[in-house]
């Protein structure tokens, strides 16, 4: 006897299930068929919540960006300056380590220029700009620094995830050294 399908699923429940699939199997395995199977529903039922796989990917990107923002915002509470930059950097890397599929989803919205995706991402930019205010960075200079930090963190995460760090060196120590160099660089600006 097959399990009874779930009735009245909320979008958040579906996104949480999709996030679990992404973290366990990778974002490419998050298909409407696989998600429906995990939820115990028929694939057409997902069309009540999403405009196909593209709609699911968009919602997953926003969900992932919002989750990353929450982690970073929590990490920034009660710290400032160098400590804040280090704390949010470590939180970012740990988020990617514990939620690789969700993180990957943040990069895979069908249209990264979509207003909803941009709005979600802008919260992370604004948070990072606030953290960097301790260095008196303003306007475009602050945004360039945000891009630099994101590039460091994304690059580090991607290399780590894909086995790019083969040397027998502590990765967290490497991260600290890199972030300290970043901090020193923005202080000299």
Segment 19-44, tens digit of pLDDT = 999 999 999 999 999 999 999 999 99
Domain contains 49? no
Domain contains 5? no
Q: Give the global pTM.
A: 0.91
Q: Residue 11 carries which DSSP code?
A: H
Residue 189 confidence (pLDDT)? 66
Neighbours of 82 (CB within 10 A): 15
Domain contains 10? no
**Is the separation of the CB atoms in 65 and 120 below 8 Å?**
yes
pLDDT, tens only, 95-149: 999 999 999 999 988 888 899 999 999 999 999 999 999 999 999 999 999 999 9
What does each C-alpha distance from 110 to 59, 65, 89, 117 come to in angstroms?
A: 10, 14, 27, 10
Mean pLDDT of the chain: 93
How many residues are there in the chain?
Answer: 189
Domain contains 140? yes
What's the CATH number where 166 sits? 1.10.357.10
Domain contains 175? yes
Domain contains 4? no
Domains: count for the chain: 1
What is the DSSP track for 105-130?
HHT--S-TT-HHHHHHHHHHHHHHHH
């Amino acid at each position: 006897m097959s399990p009874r399908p779930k009735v009245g699923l909320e979008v958040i429940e579906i996104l949480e299930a999709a996030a679990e699939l992404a973290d366990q199997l990778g974002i490419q395995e998050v298909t409407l068929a696989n998600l429906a199977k995990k939820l115990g529903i028929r694939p057409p039922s997902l069309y009540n919540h999403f405009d196909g796989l593209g709609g699911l990917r968009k919602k997953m990107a926003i969900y992932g960006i919002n989750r990353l923002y929450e982690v970073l915002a929590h990490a920034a509470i009660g710290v400032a300056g160098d400590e804040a930059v280090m704390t949010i950097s470590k939180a970012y890397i740990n988020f990617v380590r514990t939620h690789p599929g969700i993180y990957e989803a943040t990069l895979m919205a069908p249209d990264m220029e979509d207003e909803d995706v941009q709005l979600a991402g802008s919260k992370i930019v604004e948070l990072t700009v606030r953290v960097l205010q301790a260095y008196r960075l303003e306007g475009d200079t602050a945004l360039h620094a945000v891009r630099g930090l994101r590039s460091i963190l994304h690059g580090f995460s991607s290399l780590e995830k894909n086995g790019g760090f083969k040397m027998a060196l502590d990765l967290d120590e490497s991260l600290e050294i890199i972030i300290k160099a970043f901090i020193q660089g923005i202080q000299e600006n």
